Structure 1
Amino acid sequence: MGRRAGIASFIGTSVEWYDFYIYGTASALVFGQLFFPVATPAVGILVSFATFWVGFLARPLGGILFGHLGDRIGRKKTLVTTLLLMGVTTVAIGLLPTYASIGLWAPLLLVLLRVVQGLAVGGEWGGAVLIATEHAPKNRGILSGAWAQQGSPSGQILSSLAFTIAAQLPDEDFYSWGWRVPFLASAVLVVLGLVIRLSVTEPPALEQVRKSGNTARFPLLDVLRSHTLLVVLGVFACSIAFSAAYFKNTFAVSWATNEVGFDRETFMTVVLVASITQFVVQPFGAVLASKFDVRRVVTVLLLAELPAMPLMFVLISTGSFAWSVVGMIVATIPHVMFYAVVAGVLAQSFPARVRYTAISLSYGLAGTLLGGTTPMIGQALLTASGSIVPVIGWALATVLMSLFGVRALLARAPGPDDDEPERQTALAGSDEK
């Protein structure tokens, strides 16, 4: 069941992230022109990125809502709900009339649908991580959590591929109907995800909580009362997981196509290559963390990202396809290997009775504060200064946030209400080796 749970987690998060990433790409390429045409191009992109952020604003609410359901009624039922909600919303965006057809209703409906997307993905990630980690053998929580994390590069590959193909169309066709195809294709992926997800049972950890009568009546209140500091550290730990991703596949797409001089299909190919690299390399972060001291592994990976992130921007600024690919790959490797580890670290930092709510809240708040704001802050800094240097400065700040957060999180011993002794062993990693 552990392997089946991992596969179900991977398939489900792939679909969810595909849906979420295609919105980010569309916000960089088309939404400014089609839904906010009254603004100047730069302002239109900034407003478009603001709607991108709206989805992240809703994520903590989704984490609280679906975390409550996941801790109370079960992981499986909750995950089926989030997958359906995300799929229906994404298809609806693909059918949405533009500003030219219905005026102000178009951006208003776009924002509303983005909010629903945020609610869905806010409840998806935590449950997917738990389906994988709570079915995992003892001491393999971090390694199993990497299954859920693989959904991110898979979704990115699918979304990049979809828009790379759509971008081959003539401008008239691309802006009239081509951009809609990636959204409508989500329906097929959702059906596949549901078939896989319905075959999984509830994790043993949750069943133990139910049998003991220790189910949390109000998980959020329990989290805020007993685990607030861990949630805050979790937010910091997750910051680079969000900021690096959206610097690459959202802000960089806009910057490269509007400022540097890339055409959209060429730079989407750069993003696609980076996404494939992520898919191949990312699991090795979890492998390293399962074999060596996890604190040392995450420290080395994040320190490596400090020079890699500025290098990416410098190489993209050359306007060279080859150097841009090199920059993207170099910046991708350290942060995605860290991303593979952070899910397991978070899952093992909270007791099972409130785990869904706690990790969803940590991850959702990180997305709101440090993920969804990334393209918007990046564009604002670029517009205000006319230079990419302040953007690089902000990128480096988010790396340091993660370094502080994850080390502090790992340094904290499990609390007295730890209901699973194996969590202590897993958190210690291979310190005993």
Structure 2
Amino acid sequence: MNESSNSATKKMTRKAVGASTIGAIIEWYDFFLYSTASAIIFPKLFFPSADPYISTLESFGSLAVGYVARPVGAAIFGHFGDRIGRKNALVITLWLMGLSTIVMGLLPTYSTLGFLAPLLLIIARIFQGIGVGGEWAGSILLSMEWGGNKTSGFMASLPNAGVGAGQLVASVILGLFIALSGSQFYVWGWRLPFLFSVILLVAGVVIRSKIDETPHFQEVQASKQVSALPIFEVVKSYPKQVLLTIFLKMSEHAPYVVFTVFMIGYSVEHFHIDKGFLVTAITVASILMCFNIPLFGHVSDRIGMKRVYLIGVILMLLWAFPYVALMNTGIPSVIFLVTVLSMFPHNIQGGAQPALIAQSFPVRLRYSGAALGSQISAVISGGIAPIICTYLLHVFGTIYAVAGYIAFTAVVSLIATVLVKNYTQLKENPGTGTKESIEPSIQL
């Protein structure tokens, strides 16, 4: 490769990383804005009830609907991502997420429209879920496949840090409008963070439209290995890899939703802690997340992705009961500190996870496999986590039941992580009986 070509490749790599990361920030801003709103806004405005337990359960149910829709998005965009390329699929997901969020900000509330208000909110949430279901895998592949084999963990972790950055932007914008609107927050102030998405949407589409398709996918096209039905093929040929992906992600996803959604609502309701104070805690945690995830992605390139991920899973298991005990003190300063510290076991996993999952599948089926496994996991771990925790608390009458749930997800992920293999360790393609010729040789 001559100097001019090498320079052009490096320039496009930087653009691809920027486009995938910025796009991820925008899409996760939309998604996490709803998550926080489901704890502090929607129970009051869209799911009013004389019983706070019922209101909370209904609001968290609408949150779960978005997660249920994510595998649908994974199937749709996994198909197109492995058929027509990563870039084109990602532009569509951005439009879908952005428009859904803007619609939410324009919806009448229950007091104006009655039962149609939560119904329309749920429909918009479904489209959000479909969009983000295709986003995660595509963004990490866009970055990882433009990077080198020796830095795949770091490159794939950058868009995953966009998850934290999206949470950060959502927390900052929400906190800003809580402060600006004051007593009018539940009248009109809550709408502004959702409408703010229009600015992010335009910026994201412009940036993503200017990048080229990844070299790995171009090789798949050149070698005529593009699958006709990638979702069906990955399920048929790599069912074990899909299942292990589902389970290994549980200890990263479920606790994160517990930390940032359920426990926030719990602290507001039981200890009467100011919602703005708790949003600030999430903001600080999100800032650290933006740095920690790429850091541990880099570490995973040095000592192995599986090894780093196992460290994160074990720490999550050990943290479960101390975390709940400290949160249950009801002391604002302790809750603030613990909310920030709770992100570290998650961040360790978040740094190693993207490449660990992506490299479990061959390039030509990678979008479909990574998307399907991760998004089914999002349903059975993250999406229903607040509902499970609300139910456990209601039935057992102790918050320590939530700690047991966190510990359970960690044990499941520990087993799955031990069993998962890099695709290059699978000697043959189960579907054809032949070796793939274009797979990078990278060790987990």
Tell me which moved more, 86-95 or 384-393: 384-393
User: How far apart, in 1, do the equivalents of 2:105 and 2:92 lie?
Assistant: 20
In structure 2, the CA distance between the partners of 1:18 and 1:352, relative to structure 1 (3 Å rule), is same
Output the amino acid matched with 1:263. D
Match of 2:426 in 1: 414
- CA shift, 1:14, in A, is 0.4
> Any conservation in 2 of the 1:283–1:337 contact (CA below 8 Å)?
no
Aligned with residue 358 of structure 1, among 369, 374, 387: 369
User: How far apart, in 2, do the equivalents of 1:380 and 1:304 lie?
Assistant: 25
In structure 2, the CA distance between the partners of 1:188 and 1:75, relative to structure 1 (3 Å rule), is same
- Return structure 1 stretches of 4+ with deviation > 6 angstroms: none
Aligned with residue 279 of structure 1, among 277, 290, 294: 290
User: How far apart, in 1, do the equivalents of 2:93 and 2:181 lie?
Assistant: 35
User: How far apart, in 2, do the equivalents of 1:391 and 1:260 lie?
Assistant: 17
- CA shift, 1:322, in A, is 2.2
Aligned with residue 312 of structure 1, among 323, 327, 330: 323
The Cα RMSD (Å) is: 1.6
User: How far apart, in 2, do the equivalents of 1:211 and 1:281 lie?
Assistant: 37
User: How far apart, in 1, do the equivalents of 2:366 and 2:300 lie?
Assistant: 21
Q: Does 1:185 align with 2:190?
A: no
Deviations 1:17-56 (A, max 9, x none): 0000000111000111111114511110111000100001
> Any conservation in 2 of the 1:67–1:357 contact (CA below 8 Å)?
yes
- CA shift, 1:209, in A, is 1.1
Deviations 1:158-188 (A, max 9, x none): 1111222223356641111111111111111
User: How far apart, in 2, do the equivalents of 1:39 and 1:139 lie?
Assistant: 57
Deviations 1:271-325 (A, max 9, x none): 1111112122222211211111333322222212222232222222222232123
Match of 2:332 in 1: 321
User: How far apart, in 1, do the equivalents of 2:426 and 2:15 lie?
Assistant: 29
Output the amino acid matched with 1:419. E
Q: Does 1:196 align with 2:217?
A: no
- Within 5 Å, which residues of 2 pair with 1:239-258? 239-258=250-269
User: How far apart, in 2, do the equivalents of 1:122 and 1:293 lie?
Assistant: 27
In structure 2, the CA distance between the partners of 1:420 and 1:335, relative to structure 1 (3 Å rule), is farther
- CA shift, 1:343, in A, is 0.5
Q: Does 1:343 align with 2:354?
A: yes
Match of 2:91 in 1: 80
Match of 2:313 in 1: 302
User: How far apart, in 1, do the equivalents of 2:437 and 2:162 lie?
Assistant: 27
> Any conservation in 1 of the 2:251–2:316 contact (CA below 8 Å)?
no
- CA shift, 1:328, in A, is 2.0
Output the amino acid matched with 2:306. R
- CA shift, 1:72, in A, is 0.9
TM-score with structure 2 length normalisation? Answer: 0.93
Match of 1:231 in 2: 242
Output the amino acid matched with 1:149. N
Tell me which moved more, 226-235 or 393-402: 393-402
- CA shift, 1:121, in A, is 0.3
Match of 1:104 in 2: 115
User: How far apart, in 2, do the equivalents of 1:154 and 1:200 lie?
Assistant: 21
User: How far apart, in 1, do the equivalents of 2:21 and 2:418 lie?
Assistant: 27
> Any conservation in 2 of the 1:63–1:123 contact (CA below 8 Å)?
yes
Match of 1:149 in 2: 160
User: How far apart, in 2, do the equivalents of 1:91 and 1:238 lie?
Assistant: 30
Match of 2:218 in 1: 207
In structure 2, the CA distance between the partners of 1:411 and 1:195, relative to structure 1 (3 Å rule), is closer
- CA shift, 1:326, in A, is 2.4
Match of 2:6 in 1: none
Residue 140 of structure 1 aligns to a residue whose secondary structure is helix
> Any conservation in 1 of the 2:363–2:439 contact (CA below 8 Å)?
no
> Any conservation in 2 of the 1:233–1:408 contact (CA below 8 Å)?
yes
Residue 81 of structure 1 aligns to a residue whose secondary structure is helix
In structure 2, the CA distance between the partners of 1:277 and 1:180, relative to structure 1 (3 Å rule), is same
Output the amino acid matched with 2:426. P
Q: Does 1:163 align with 2:174?
A: yes
Aligned with residue 31 of structure 2, among 12, 17, 20: 20
User: How far apart, in 2, do the equivalents of 1:259 and 1:170 lie?
Assistant: 25
Output the amino acid matched with 1:28. A
Match of 2:432 in 1: none
TM-score with structure 1 length normalisation? Answer: 0.95
- CA shift, 1:241, in A, is 2.2
> Any conservation in 1 of the 2:324–2:402 contact (CA below 8 Å)?
no
Q: Does 1:392 align with 2:403?
A: yes
User: How far apart, in 1, do the equivalents of 2:202 and 2:83 lie?
Assistant: 26
- CA shift, 1:420, in A, is 5.2
Match of 1:261 in 2: 272
